[in-house]
Amino acid sequence: MKSTYLIVLLTFIFVFSCKKNPEYSTAKLVTSQFNYSHEVIVDGMNIPWGFTFLPDNSMLITEKLGELIHFKNGKKTLVEGLPNIEVLGQGGLMDIELHPDYESNGYIYISYASTKGEGKGANTAIMRCKLENFKLVDQKVLYKASPNSKRGQHFGSRIEFDNDGYLYFTIGDRGNRDINPQNIERDNGKVYRLHDDGRIPASNPFVRDRNAKKAIFSYGHRNIQGMIKHPETGEIWTHEHGPKGGDEINIVEAGKNYGWPKISYGINYIGTKFTDHTDLPGMEQPLHHWTPSIAPSGMAFVTSDVYPGWKGNLLVGSLKFQYLNRCVIENNKVVSEEKLIKGLGRVRSVKQGPDGYIYAGIENLGIVKIIPNK
């Protein structure tokens, strides 16, 4: 009798918790209606933090330890002329993105950990450059977060452009959650927006605040390692790491506060609470969260017809559980999820290629291509 009562009680607790948890209440695990395989396209990689495709279908791939690799027709070539990159904890050479008008201007954007500026340690920098004869030239640092920190966590950092040509990038809270994310007079824990040449847009939300960091677009973030423009709406979608639980997907909007660490669905890694709140006035709710955490990295929308039933789905890498997460989206809600390419390694980055196929950067492996079996 006691065991029956205990089962009923636990069931009630679980159902009640599901109602408070967007993931458990709306998202279910699904299985694709087709089989797929994968092919290793670029092997021998350590941490392929980011990659992008050039117009000739070659690839530029960043290795976190400070190498930029050009890959074409099975050949890897090291690109020379990188800035000084500090490999510190989670920091190193991170994301890479092409200018939307790359074929006309040749601009490439990279994010990396830099020791330049105020204080000891490092912080995230954003650079614009060009590629000539396997060398980076015409380098210009567009933004450098300050002050530097000796801490090794939460550098961010993803790069994306919107439909109006604005440059967005993310920088994590650098492990200083109680000071940086909620203070617009300080860098870190933010999404930033610039013109493509580094100028501050006059329409940025805090340009009239005398003491604010004028490049800030949104704040109250922990550590965003996924950012993508929605292919239909043009909105900027992000995901970010929570601590133990509370990884989030958000649509970022100008001037909005996304709550970290005042609100969260997560707890400290040791199991203690740091906040009693999952919502507060003036702070945005995630459109989805993962509790327990999956440690998300990389983000891409499927826009091609290569994969039956996947068009419009959102892909997110899981570092913790080593799979690519396929999220089915309806009305800006994740309604179901599927785990892809499980067990290959930590999924660090993901892109849809010019050929419509999905490519993923897997740590200690390389770049893999997901192939539907006909």
Q: Give the pLDDT confidence of 274-305 residue by residue, as tens digits.
A: 999 999 999 999 999 999 999 999 999 999 99
Q: Is 154 annotated as catalytic? A: yes
pLDDT (0 to 100) of residue 6: 41
What is the average pLDDT across 325-348? 96
Q: How large a percentage of the chain has pLDDT more than 70?
A: 91
Q: How far apart are CA 53 and CA 50, in angstroms?
A: 11
Tell how far CA 71 is from the center of its chain.
23
**The dihedral of CA 7, 13, 15, 21: what is its sign?**
negative
Give the count of domains, the chain. Answer: 1
Q: What is the mean pLDDT of the chain?
A: 92
Residue 173 lies in a domain: yes
Q: Is the pLDDT of residue 13 over 60?
A: no
What is the average pLDDT across 3-10? 40
Least confident of 1-5, 136-140, 301-305, 311-315: 1-5
Q: How far apart are CA 182 and CA 20, in angstroms?
A: 25
pLDDT in tens, 303-320: 999 999 999 999 999 999
pLDDT (0 to 100) of residue 285: 98
Residue 327 lies in a domain: yes
Q: How far apart are CA 245 and CA 9, in angstroms?
A: 24
pLDDT (0 to 100) of residue 231: 97
pTM of the predicted structure, to 2 decimals: 0.92
Cα torsion 24, 29, 30, 36 to 10°: value is: 140
Q: How far apart are CA 108 and CA 267, in angstroms?
A: 38
Q: Note down the domain range covering 43.
A: 24-372
Q: How large a percentage of the chain has pLDDT more than 90?
A: 90
**The dihedral of CA 74, 311, 98, 317: what is its sign?**
negative
Least confident of 16-20, 101-105, 207-211: 16-20
Q: Would you place residue 27 in the very low, low, confident or very high pLDDT band (cuts 50, 70, 90)?
A: low
Residue 146 lies in a domain: yes
Q: How far apart are CA 258 and CA 249, in angstroms?
A: 11
pLDDT in tens, 66-110: 999 999 999 999 999 999 999 999 999 999 999 999 999 999 999
Burial class of residue 306 (count of CB atoms within 10 Å of its CB; 0-12, 13-18, 19+): middle
Tell how far CA 56 is from the center of its chain.
26
Q: Would you place residue 29 in the very low, low, confident or very high pLDDT band (cuts 50, 70, 90)?
A: confident
Residue 316 lies in a domain: yes
The tokens for 332 are 């800006």
What is the average pLDDT across 153-174? 98
- CATH number where 45 lies: 2.120.10.30
Question: Which of the following is catalytic: 99, 154, 221, 239?
Answer: 154
What is the average pLDDT across 245-261? 98
Q: How far apart are CA 181 and CA 221, in angstroms?
A: 6
Residue 7 lies in a domain: no
Residue 289 lies in a domain: yes
Residue 113 lies in a domain: yes
The tokens for 269 are 């890694």
List CB contacts of 237: < 8 A, sequence separation 6 or more.
227, 228, 229, 230, 249, 250, 251, 252, 299, 314
Q: Encode 116-157 in three state secondary structure.
A: CCCCCCEEEEEEEEEEECCEEEEEEEEEECCCCECCCCCCCC
Residue 295 lies in a domain: yes
pLDDT (0 to 100) of residue 32: 67
Burial class of residue 152 (count of CB atoms within 10 Å of its CB; 0-12, 13-18, 19+): middle
